[in-house]
Amino acid sequence: MPLFVAGLSHRNAPVALREQLAVDEDKLRELLRDIGATGVVREALILSTCNRVEVYAVADVPGEARTATFRRLCHHRGVGPDSVETALYTYVDGEAVRHAFRVASSLDSMMIGEPQILGQVKDAFALAQSCETVGPALHTLFTQAFAVAKKVRTETEIARHAVSVSFAAVELAKKIFAGLDGKAVLLVGAGKMSELAARHLIEQGAFPLYVANRTWARAQELARALSGTAVPFDELTTALAAVDIVITSTGAPAPVITRETVDRVLPARRGRPLFFIDIAVPRDVEEAVDMLDGVYRYDIDDLKQVVDANIRERGREAHRAEALVEREVAKFVARLGDVEVIPTIVSLRERLEAIRAGEVKRTLARLPGATLETREAIEALSSAIVNKILHAPITKLRESSRAGSPRSWLELVHELFGLGRK
C-alpha cells in the first residue's frame, strides 16, 4: 500500500503558519475534489485542526503526490508554497500507519490524552468519505486507527487525570463530595476559567447554579448561558449558606470572602461541607478560611500542583500507550503485507496443485487395479510433497512483505513458477 502522510503541526510549525493553511469544512470539500481530480493520488483525506494540517493519501509516487497536493492547498489558501515546503514532514507506509495511530490516540497532541482529536479525525474521515476520496486503503487504516484509539483509552489511564485548572477543580470536588449530583454551585465573578470550571461541574451533575457579579447585567448574562440564577452581589452571604461549591474569580484587589463571613454562615449549613475553588489572582478567599471545620479552600497554586502531578501521571501512562500502539502498528503492517502477497501465494498454490492433480491422474491411469487405500496414499503423498515445496517460498514472501520489501520476491516467484502464464 503506497501510503503517505504529509503535513505540519504544533511540533514543527508556528501557529502563524498553521492558521494560514487551516481549511474550513466547505473549502475542504472543494480542495479534496480538486486534489482527486489531478490524478496524482488514488485516495486522500485532509485533517485540519488548530494544531495540525495533514494530508493522508495513497499514491504511486508519494513524493510527487505530496508536492502536488500541498501546492494545491497553498493555492487555495493564497500561501506561497516555498515557505510551507520547508516545514513539511512526511511519513510513508509503516511510519505513516504509526503516525495515524498516534494522532488518533492523542499521543501526538499538544496535551497528551486530550479527547477532542479523535472526534476531529472521525469528522475528517466522514468528510473525505462523502467526497468519495476514501478508498480501501484509507478505510482500512482509519477504521483500525479508531479501534487503536479506543484501546488506548480503555487499557491505559492516559485521559483519566485532569490536566487543566478547570478539570482539576472538578477532580478535587469529587474527592470532597461522595458525588456531584445535586450539589449547588455559586459562581462569584465571571472569569472565563471559572465559567469553564462551572460548566465541567454541571456536566458532572452539579445543580442548581447561582451567579454573583458586581455588574448585575453580566451576572444575568452568564446565569442565562449556564441555565442558572443570578444573585445580587450584596446577597453573597445568603448564597454561601445555601450552596456546596463556590468558584471565585472576581479580579478584586483584596479578598471578597473572609473567614468572618464564612464563619457566620456555618451554623445555617448544619455541618454540610463547603468547598471553595479560588481561581482569582489576587485571591478572593482569605487563607484563614482553611481553619474552619468542614471548609475546604483551594487556590490557583493548589490547582496547579494537581495539574502538574497529573501531567506527570499522563506521561507515565503515555509510555504504556506508546507500547500498545507499537504492537498494533506491527500487527497492522503485517496484515497489510500479507494482503499484498496473498494473490501470489494463491496463484502459486493453484499452480502446484494443478501439476499435482495432473500427475496423480496419470499415475492412477497406469494402475487400474489400485485399491482405494493405494489411491488415498498417492493423494496424501503428493499433497505432502506440494506443501513442503510451498513452505519455503510462502515463508520468504511473507517475511519479505513484513520487512517492507516484497516486490523483488514477488517477481522472482512469478518468474520461477511461471505464474500468470497459460
Residue 246 corresponds to which amino acid? V
Q: Which of 11, 30, 50, 235 is catalytic?
A: 50
50 is catalytic: yes
For residue 253, cis peptide bond before it (omega within 30 degrees of 0): no
DSSP state of 11: T
Helix (H, G, I), strand (E, B) or coil at 231: strand
* CA–CA separation, 42 and 48 (whole Å): 20
Q: Does residue 13 contact residue 41 with C-beta atoms inside 8 Å? A: no
Q: Any long-range contacts for 145-151 (C-beta under 8 Å, 24+ apart)?
A: 145/100, 145/101, 145/103, 145/104, 145/105, 145/121, 146/104, 146/118, 146/121, 146/122, 148/101, 148/104, 148/105, 148/324, 148/325, 148/328, 149/101, 149/104, 149/105, 149/106, 149/118, 149/121, 151/324, 151/328
Rounded to whole angstroms, the maximal C-alpha distance in the chain is 113
* CA–CA separation, 328 and 333 (whole Å): 9
Question: Residue 380 corresponds to which cell in the numbers above?
Answer: 496424501
Spatial CA neighbour of 88 closest among 4, 5, 7: 7
CB atoms within 10 A of CB 268: 12
Which residues belong to the active site?
A: 50
